[in-house]
C-alpha cells in the first residue's frame, strides 16, 4: 500500500514538474524560422544543405519533388531558369534557390527587400553542402527581383 502511494505520488510530482518546465524548454530552444525545402529524394548535397540549416537553428520541412514538377515550381515562383540549382526552398515569403549560405538567408530576412529571393545558380564547390569550404571555388549569391532581373547580393572568393 505504501509503495503504491509513493508510486502515484512520484508520478504526480514528476508530471507536474514536466508540465511546469515545458514552456521554459520551448523558450530555451530558440527555434528559428521555418523553411520548407523541395528536393530530389536522391540528392545528397540537398540533404547536406538541409543539415546545415538545421544545425543553425532553422526549422526545416522537406518535400519530395523532381524533374518537370520541380522545374515548374521554380518557374511558377519567380526563379529564372538561369538561376536554377538542385533544390528550392520557401521561407517567410521568399524563395531560396540552391546552396545559399545561412548568413545570406538571415540577412535577407533582416533587410526584407522587395524581391523573389536568393539564388546560388548551379552547384559551386565549397558552397554550403557542396564540399569543403576550405577548397571553395568563387561564387555569388544573387538577389532575384520581382521583374526577373538579378543583382549580386554577396560574393564569395575562392579559398
Q: Which three cell numbers stand for residue 121?
A: 545558380
Cα distances (angstroms) measured from residue 96 to each of 42, 135, 152:
20, 24, 14
Going by the DSSP 8-state scheme, the letter that residue 101 receives in this structure is -
Residue that the C-alpha cell 546552396 belongs to: 99
Return per-residue pLDDT of the chain as tens, 159 residues: 555 555 555 544 444 444 444 444 334 345 789 999 999 888 888 899 999 999 999 999 999 998 899 999 999 999 999 999 999 999 999 999 999 999 999 999 999 999 999 999 999 999 999 999 999 999 999 999 999 999 999 999 999
pTM assigned to the model: 0.79
Strand-strand pairing, 139-144 and 117-120: antiparallel
Amino acid at each position: 500500500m505504501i509503495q503504491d502511494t509513493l508510486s502515484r505520488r512520484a508520478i504526480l510530482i514528476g508530471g507536474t514538474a514536466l508540465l511546469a518546465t515545458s514552456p521554459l524548454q520551448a523558450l530555451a530552444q530558440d527555434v528559428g524560422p521555418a523553411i520548407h525545402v523541395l528536393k530530389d529524394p536522391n540528392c545528397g548535397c540537398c540533404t547536406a544543405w538541409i543539415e546545415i540549416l538545421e544545425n543553425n537553428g532553422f526549422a526545416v520541412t522537406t518535400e519530395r519533388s523532381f524533374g518537370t514538377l520541380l522545374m515548374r515550381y521554380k518557374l511558377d515562383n519567380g526563379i529564372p531558369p538561369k538561376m536554377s540549382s538542385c533544390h528550392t526552398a520557401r521561407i517567410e515569403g521568399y524563395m531560396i534557390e540552391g546552396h545559399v549560405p545561412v548568413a545570406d538567408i538571415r540577412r535577407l530576412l533582416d533587410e526584407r527587400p522587395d524581391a523573389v529571393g536568393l539564388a546560388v545558380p548551379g552547384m559551386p564547390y565549397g558552397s554550403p553542402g557542396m564540399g569543403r569550404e576550405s577548397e571553395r571555388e568563387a561564387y555569388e549569391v544573387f538577389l532575384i527581383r520581382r521583374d526577373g532581373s538579378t543583382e549580386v547580393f554577396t560574393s564569395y572568393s575562392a579559398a
